[in-house]
């Protein structure tokens, strides 16, 4: 099975080569055989006696991340959609994309997506699923940005990536949490531990994070905004990724995890509400669109909302209806996208305001659109599959009493009304799509090209899909019994197979359907009269504006924030760094009771020492107040010599000597370097700045002194130096212990100390030489 998943990716490597001969043979023709053979491979699993298949391949077993593929009914439904629609889309693209396009890139991205999508629906391993999940986002990003020289394409690509990757990362968080709670990375193993999860405190978080992933991917309200902009992709891509497959990955995810969360009351509440709101909002918005693909995009969103809502209900009928509608939606929406592509291709526009009266010119296309739109609208005709699943949807909204859930009780009575509301608008935009394009006044003068019927090649794929619409409509139980039931069982094991009939008496759901058709027709005819309602809702609000403002402000605000402290001012940097060090360290010292002072065991104080200390202190303070350049340097020298004197007093002759030599050289260097620089100025500094500097400096000095006193006051261990005194002569052969330590015991320090000096010398040399070179140039 791993081969079936990876073969598109492997084949993608050869595509650039094949695209070299695209002028002879369209690259798509080669590519077609890939999804088609995958379809043939998986179709043989369909049957009444289907039972899940599991194949395991190890990848990173020590992290529990493995290619464990698990094919159950749910996966099978998706796999067949991916490979089946995939084949048709590739076929369609052969006629849609001209050979002058970058076919190589197109098919590489498309094949990449195929692998990714197959991987998502077949992986039993959480993190492999996540890997493929992000790969679908990436390939979708590339496909939306296929015509990247268009501003809108770049915008749409970036938007879809930001939103779907956001969801993906959140889902990752949920997955990791699931793994931590259950100790396994296998979805099936997780499902078998429902109790552990339901008892976990993390349950709301896990569910929330995973649902965020699903909602963003499946364009649920309010994350739906990326999908309309994704329509910038070439139409075959829209038909494939953004209608039939990728956007259903979120649906898949919710379905997959339904067994885990179904008994958790918030699952019902969140998923149902989000689904229903999406259904209503998007179908309402679809009516307002003028771009054919825009209508279809909002229509897709609303249909996804409907499926999502049914998964949220989680009842037997609802789950079965959801599976049924996934299939039906793929057929009619796929064909409608292709129709939209044909119209665009043959008339040069997708703007419905400029189209009309195409019925006579494009009769085949019109017929296809007729079936597609009417099925979408759920018109009660026995040869339209959309009607069946919509009626099951109504049925499920009416039978939510089997959900035993006190919180949900408030919602349950409202849901059927919302369902009808959403469906009415579905009906309206379906009619709008069909009649707006194919009937009405002809206005060909507004078109760039003279419209004509599409070539037969382009029509094959939508014809096959429409045949699917009709066949499923006529013989719904053919697909239901053989494989949809298995898909439904994977989501809710209680689902039983029940035959679906076109006519089942005067039941409430029939009245609901009739109401939809009735009110829908009225609204469609009068739509010009009530279109002002859009000025009220959404009016000027929109989530798109929110997104745009967010993205724009992220840049602006972060620039503002950053520029407040990244000013390039060393003083500011040092102030912040010092303040952080002083404050945090003081707090830590206080919290841990670190400060201590021990008066015993101190050396006695003599007058001469006090005098030297006093001189150093005066000199050090003088460096702050002096305004003479020379003075400042010399006073610094005084400090250095003072320290050398202290070294003498404290029995460190070597140090004293070194210090003297180095201090002398340093002062000389100082004088040499600063001879040419401007004088020290009288500081024009505000008092505030002085006080601030003073506080920080004193704070830092005091902190250091306090730590020093505390460290010195500890009396835990003897220093290791006795060893040096004992062995300096015996093992080191020297009387001067400090020297022995330097050259022998800690010889490595000294070696690299010399290295530091060497590098410094080289650096200084190159700094000076650089200048000479420059001046020579």
DSSP secondary structure of 489-558: HHH-TT-------S---S-HHHHHHHHHHHHHHHHHHTHHHHTTHHHHTTTT--HHHHHHHHHHHHHHHH
Least CB distance to other proteins at residue 45 (A)? 27
Q: Which is nearer to other proteins, 456 or 770 (CB)?
A: 770
Strand partners, 58: 66
Least CB distance to other proteins at residue 480 (A)? 37
Instruction: Tell me which of 43, 53, 169, 460 binds other proteins, using CB under 8 A.
Output: 169
Q: Which is nearer to other proteins, 252 or 647 (CB)?
A: 647
Instruction: Tell me which of 29, 449, 596, 611 binds other proteins, using CB under 8 A.
Output: 596
Residues 178 and 173: their CA atoms lie apart, in Å, by: 9
Least CB distance to other proteins at residue 697 (A)? 4
Tokens at residue 493, please? 């094991």
* Sign for the pseudo-dihedral over CA of 624, 627, 630, 635: negative
Least CB distance to other proteins at residue 233 (A)? 14
Q: Which is nearer to other proteins, 3 or 765 (CB)?
A: 765
Instruction: Tell me which of 10, 554, 611, 691 binds other proteins, using CB under 8 A.
Output: 554
Where do the DSSP E strands lie in 278-370? none
Closest CA to 374 of 434, 326, 425: 434
Q: Does residue 243 interact with other proteins by CB under 8 A?
A: no
272, 258 contact by CB (below 8 A):
no
Least CB distance to other proteins at residue 453 (A)? 34
Q: Does residue 200 interact with other proteins by CB under 8 A?
A: no
Q: Residues for the chain: how many in total?
A: 777
- Region 729-768 residues binding other proteins, contact defined as CB under 8 A: 729, 731, 735-738, 741-742, 744-750, 752-753, 755-757, 759-764, 766-768
Instruction: Tell me which of 503, 506, 607, 716 binds other proteins, using CB under 8 A.
Output: 716
In this structure, what are the phi and psi dihedrals at residue 125, rounded to the nearest 5 degrees?
A: -90, 130
Least CB distance to other proteins at residue 249 (A)? 16
Least CB distance to other proteins at residue 325 (A)? 32
- Region 610-669 residues binding other proteins, contact defined as CB under 8 A: 610, 613, 616-617, 620-621, 623-624, 629, 632-633, 636, 639-640, 643, 646-647, 649-655, 658-659, 662, 665-666, 669
- Region 126-145 residues binding other proteins, contact defined as CB under 8 A: 127, 130-131, 134, 138, 145
Q: Does residue 364 interact with other proteins by CB under 8 A?
A: no
Q: How far is CA 48 from CA 53, 152, 483, in A?
A: 15, 47, 7
Q: Does residue 6 interact with other proteins by CB under 8 A?
A: no
Residues 110 and 101: their CA atoms lie apart, in Å, by: 14
Residues 378 and 388: their CA atoms lie apart, in Å, by: 8
CA dihedral 606→612→614→615, nearest 10 degrees, is 160
> CB within 8 A of 726, min separation 6: which ones?
none
Q: Does residue 207 interact with other proteins by CB under 8 A?
A: no
Q: Which is nearer to other proteins, 364 or 620 (CB)?
A: 620
Q: Does residue 537 interact with other proteins by CB under 8 A?
A: no
Q: Does residue 184 interact with other proteins by CB under 8 A?
A: no
Tokens at residue 207, please? 């569910």
Least CB distance to other proteins at residue 76 (A)? 25
Residues 276 and 638: their CA atoms lie apart, in Å, by: 82
Q: Does residue 158 interact with other proteins by CB under 8 A?
A: yes
Q: For other proteins, how many residues bind (rule: CB under 8 A)?
A: 172
Please, what's the largest Cα pairwise distance for the chain? 115
Q: Which is nearer to other proteins, 457 or 694 (CB)?
A: 694
Q: Does residue 607 interact with other proteins by CB under 8 A?
A: no
Instruction: Tell me which of 410, 541, 570, 776 binds other proteins, using CB under 8 A.
Output: 570
Buried residues in 670-704 as b, exposed as e (16+ CB within 10 A) = beeeeeeeeeeeeeeeeeeeeeebeebeebeeebe
Residues 270 and 274: their CA atoms lie apart, in Å, by: 6
- Region 42-71 residues binding other proteins, contact defined as CB under 8 A: 58-63, 65
- Region 668-697 residues binding other proteins, contact defined as CB under 8 A: 669-670, 673-674, 676-678, 680-681, 683, 693-694, 696-697
Q: Which is nearer to other proteins, 425 or 724 (CB)?
A: 724
Residues 446 and 263: their CA atoms lie apart, in Å, by: 57
Instruction: Tell me which of 410, 541, 591, 776 binds other proteins, using CB under 8 A.
Output: 591
Closest CA to 38 of 106, 112, 118: 118
Least CB distance to other proteins at residue 615 (A)? 10
Least CB distance to other proteins at residue 118 (A)? 16
């Amino acid at each position: 099975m791993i081969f079936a998943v990876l073969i598109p990716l492997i084949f993608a490597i050869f595509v650039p080569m094949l695209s070299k001969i695209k002028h002879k043979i369209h690259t798509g023709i080669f590519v077609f055989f890939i999804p088609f053979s995958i379809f043939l491979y998986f179709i043989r699993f369909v049957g009444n006696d289907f039972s899940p298949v599991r194949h395991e391949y190890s990848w990173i077993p020590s992290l529990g991340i493995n290619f464990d593929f698990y094919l159950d009914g749910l996966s099978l439904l998706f796999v067949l959609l991916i490979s089946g629609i995939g084949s048709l889309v590739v076929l369609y693209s052969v006629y849609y994309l001209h050979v002058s396009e970058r076919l190589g890139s197109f098919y590489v991205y498309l094949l990449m997506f195929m692998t990714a999508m197959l991987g998502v629906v077949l992986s039993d391993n959480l993190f492999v699923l996540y890997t493929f999940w992000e790969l679908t986002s990436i390939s979708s990003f590339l496909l939306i940005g296929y015509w990247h020289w268009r501003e809108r394409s770049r915008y749409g690509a970036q938007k879809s990536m930001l939103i779907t990757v956001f969801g993906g990362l959140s889902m990752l968080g949920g997955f990791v949490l699931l793994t931590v709670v259950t100790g396994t990375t296998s979805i099936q193993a997780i499902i078998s531990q429902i109790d552990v999860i339901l008892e976990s405190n993390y349950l709301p978080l896990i569910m929330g994070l995973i649902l965020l992933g699903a909602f963003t991917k499946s364009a649920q309200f309010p994350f739906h905004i990326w999908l309309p902009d994704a329509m910038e992709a070439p139409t075959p891509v829209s038909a494939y990724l953004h209608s039939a497959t990728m956007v259903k990955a979120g649906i898949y995810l919710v379905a997959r995890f339904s067994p885990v969360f179904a008994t958790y009351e918030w699952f019902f509440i969140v998923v149902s509400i989000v689904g229903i709101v999406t259904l209503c909002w998007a179908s309402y918005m679809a009516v307002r669109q003028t771009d054919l693909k825009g209508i279809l995009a909002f229509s897709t969103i609303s249909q996804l909302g409907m499926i999502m809502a049914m998964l949220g209900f989680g009842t037997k009928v609802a789950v079965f209806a959801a599976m049924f509608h996934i299939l039906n939606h793929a057929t009619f929406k796929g064909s409608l996208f292709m129709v939209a592509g044909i119209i665009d291709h043959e008339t040069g526009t997708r703007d419905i305001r400029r189209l009309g009266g195409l019925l006579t010119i494009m009769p085949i296309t019109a017929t296809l659109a007729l079936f597609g739109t009417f099925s979408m609208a759920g018109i009660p005709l026995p040869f339209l599959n959309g009607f069946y699943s919509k009626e099951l949807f109504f049925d499920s909204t009416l039978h939510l009493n089997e959900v035993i859930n006190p919180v949900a009780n408030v919602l349950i009575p409202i849901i059927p009304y919302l369902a009808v509301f959403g469906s009415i608008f579905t009906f309206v935009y379906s009619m709008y799509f069909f009649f707006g394009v194919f009937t009405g006044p002809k206005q060909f003068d507004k078109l760039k090209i003279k419209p004509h019927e599409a070539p037969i090649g382009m029509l094959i794929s939508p014809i096959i899909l429409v045949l699917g619409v009709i066949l499923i409509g006529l013989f719904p139980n053919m697909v239901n019994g053989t494989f949809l039931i298995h898909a439904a069982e994977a989501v809710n094991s209680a689902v039983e197979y029940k035959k679906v009939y076109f006519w089942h008496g005067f039941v409430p759901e029939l009245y609901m359907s009739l109401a939809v058709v009735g009110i829908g027709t009225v609204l469609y005819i009068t739509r010009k009269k009530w279109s002002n309602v859009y000025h009220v809702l959404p009016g000027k609000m929109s989530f798109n504006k929110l997104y745009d403002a967010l993205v724009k402000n992220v840049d602006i605000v972060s620039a503002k924030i950053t520029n407040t402290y990244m000013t390039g001012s060393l003083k500011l940097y040092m102030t912040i760094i010092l303040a952080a060090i002083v404050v945090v360290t003081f707090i830590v010292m206080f919290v841990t009771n670190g400060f201590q002072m021990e008066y015993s065991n101190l050396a006695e104080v003599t007058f001469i020492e006090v005098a030297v200390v006093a001189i150093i202190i005066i000199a050090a303070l003088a460096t702050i107040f002096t305004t003479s350049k020379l003075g400042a340097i010399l006073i610094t020298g005084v400090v250095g010599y003072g320290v050398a004197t202290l070294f003498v007093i404290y029995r460190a002759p070597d140090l004293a000597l070194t210090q003297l030599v180095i201090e002398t050289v340093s002062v000389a260097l100082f004088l040499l370097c600063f001879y040419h620089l401007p004088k020290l100025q009288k500081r024009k500094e505000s008092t505030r700045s002085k006080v601030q500097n003073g506080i920080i400096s004193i704070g830092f000095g005091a902190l250091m002194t306090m730590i020093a006193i505390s460290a010195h006051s500890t009396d835990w261990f003897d220093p290791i130096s006795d060893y040096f005194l004992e062995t300096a002569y015996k093992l080191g052969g020297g009387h001067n212990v400090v020297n022995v330590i330097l050259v022998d015991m800690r010889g490595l320090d000294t070696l690299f100390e010399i290295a530091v000096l060497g590098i410094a010398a080289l650096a200084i040399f190159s700094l000076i030489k650089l200048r000479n070179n420059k001046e020579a140039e």
